[in-house]
Amino acid sequence: MSAAPGVIDANGFAICPDCDTNVNCGKVGISNLEKRHRGKKVCLDQIARRDKSARTKKNTSILSFLQPKPARVPSTVTAPSLIGGSGSSSTWAPLIRSAETLPDRPRRATSERAPVIQKLRNLVLRLPTSVLVAVSDDALAIFSGNPEQTVDPQMDGDEIWEGMMNSTLKRALGWGRELDLTGVVRRGALGMDGFVKFLDYFMTERGVSAERVEGKLEYLFETLAKMTAEVTLPLITPVGVDNEMDPASVRAVASSQADEQPHIEVTETINIPTTIDVDALPDDVVVSSRQRSTCTGYHLPIPDGQSPHSTYPFALHDSVNPPWDYSVVNGVMSLVARGCDGTPMKGREICRKCENLENNMTLTGILSRMKDGVHENAPFAYHPFSGMVEVLHRKSAQIKHLRLRGLNQARKLLVQATALSDHKRFALAIASGAFERVGRLVSIALKQRRGIRGILTLYDAAAKGIYKPKSYTEEDDMRGLLLWRLGGNRIAHIAHRALGLPGLTTLRNRSIMPPLITSPSMPTTSWQLHI
């Protein structure tokens, strides 16, 4: 059986819910169906051809009803047989439940109904009382009306399916397995009873194909089977081994317990054993359905010393949507194929579909990355939790390094910008000419290990006359001595005040007098040059 619309199978194919075409989704998964097919030219052309064929069929001649119609294909689903011991001597009593609403038209025999309707009705009868009774706001309430008034009486089964029934079933039950039908199933006329009545009318009276309906109800059958797996139908009244109830007594008991039992419409008799002789039972051990072996799924091999919680890329199920589901029990990770029916192969603990997951290209890539590691530049969905933690640590270290380096560079630039501004101020101060002996002032400041701001402070003080450099160079001394020798004391004093040359006292202390050197003999020319 092909996969439901919008669900990818083990081979990577999915059925488009718009044009019913089997589309290859590739390794990316179901997202390719939305991005590259739905709404594209190929999909729209297929829808146009399908609609054109449907319109051509609707516009046939009025005499088309005289033409012979092909025989219906019988359903491949058989009604489940009731479980009962053939060798038991106990008496069986019929269980009769009153119907909540009886239609005006006469009921047909059970043999006229399709097997899929019989199977669905049997499952509905076994619904536990814990299932809520449907109200008008529930999803199944749309099937509670009169189905005869919903479509044109002249439409055949195929037209009804394409025009109304298919879309209605999709809206109520979903178009795949993404909807939890446990919250949709409800009891009563506004629930599953009305749904069975709806299907019974269109499949029996209007000729809707049973094969089409079976595909839509596959997931519903699985949900109902799970909900009724542990349900035991209660007895209305016990009947002894030697006693039997006549029809009048049965009707009386049914009417007296009508208020206590849920009203479910039944069309067949369910036999319930009332007395069981335990000693007469055989000694053979019968394995119940819950004790039968079920498919354990494909056990994912995890590298030694690692955990599936930290090595499996769980986020990949959102972007790629691989054809399996996962579970982790006691540190063992199991993958179950979407099409797994739970029945393992003979002598094995795994079914064929789950075993084929080992050859899936997506799973092969996951196992390779779990063993060899994931590239740092791969999309985040391919990283497991441990890889994401490592990537986060690396990113945090890089961000911290870059932030600190940026902070240090900003501080250096700020200091250099401030120093550059001070140098510009000093250049403007020199250009102003407020103090002439700038070279001597800078020399003194550098000897005192002052910076540009200290030099500016000394320059401002010297320009205001507060500070006077007291250190003179030999050039200053020679200049002062020259003016003193030529002009006398008054000129030396004026030069000291006006030009900043050494004062008269300093000039006298710096006066250079050639020393008198005694010679033991007549001085020679070379000796005089040496001294």
- Give the pair of three-digit tokens for residue 221: 């059958």
Instruction: Report pLDDT for 57.
Output: 52
Instruction: Report pLDDT for 396.
Output: 92
Contact predicate 220/173, CB 8 Å = yes
Contact predicate 338/176, CB 8 Å = no
CA atoms of 183 and 382, how far apart (whole Å): 33
pTM for the model stands at: 0.29
Secondary structure (DSSP) of 488-529: -HHHHHHHHHHH----HHHHHHT---PPP---SSPPPHHHHH
Q: 28: exposed, middle or buried (C-beta count within 10 Å: 0-12, 13-18, 19+)? A: middle
Reported as a single tens digit per residue, the pLDDT across 151-175 is 778 788 888 888 888 888 888 887 6
CA atoms of 172 and 189, how far apart (whole Å): 16
Instruction: Report pLDDT for 397.
Output: 92
CA atoms of 24 and 15, how far apart (whole Å): 9
Contact predicate 174/220, CB 8 Å = no
- Give the pair of three-digit tokens for residue 413: 């630039």
Reported as a single tens digit per residue, the pLDDT across 294-304 is 888 888 888 88
Q: Is the pLDDT of residue 399 over 90?
A: yes
In DSSP terms, 390 is beta-bridged to: none
53 Cβ neighbours under 8 A, 6+ residues apart: none
Angle 6-325-177 from CA coordinates, rounded to 5°: 35
CA atoms of 63 and 396, how far apart (whole Å): 79
Across 90-107, average pLDDT: 38
- Give the pair of three-digit tokens for residue 441: 């002032």
In DSSP terms, 95 is beta-bridged to: 270
Please state, for a pLDDT cut of 90, what percent of the chain lies above it.
Answer: 3
Strand ordering across the sheet containing 332-337: 298-299, 332-337, 324-329
Of the pLDDT bands very low, low, confident and very high (cuts 50, 70, 90), residue 113 is low
Reported as a single tens digit per residue, the pLDDT across 221-278 is 888 888 887 554 443 333 333 444 444 443 444 444 444 444 444 444 444 444 555 4
Please state, for a pLDDT cut of 70, what percent of the chain lies above it.
Answer: 74
- Sign of the alpha-carbon torsion through 231, 236, 237, 242: negative
In DSSP terms, 24 is beta-bridged to: 13
Residue 113's Cα: distance from chain center in Å? Answer: 45
**In degrees rounded to 5, what are phi and psi of residue 333?**
-95, 125
For the chain, the 3-state helix, strand and coil shares in percent, each to the nearest 5, are: 50, 5, 45
Across 25-44, average pLDDT: 79
CA atoms of 209 and 232, how far apart (whole Å): 33
Across 482-492, average pLDDT: 89
Summary mean pLDDT of the chain: 75
CA atoms of 189 and 141, how far apart (whole Å): 8
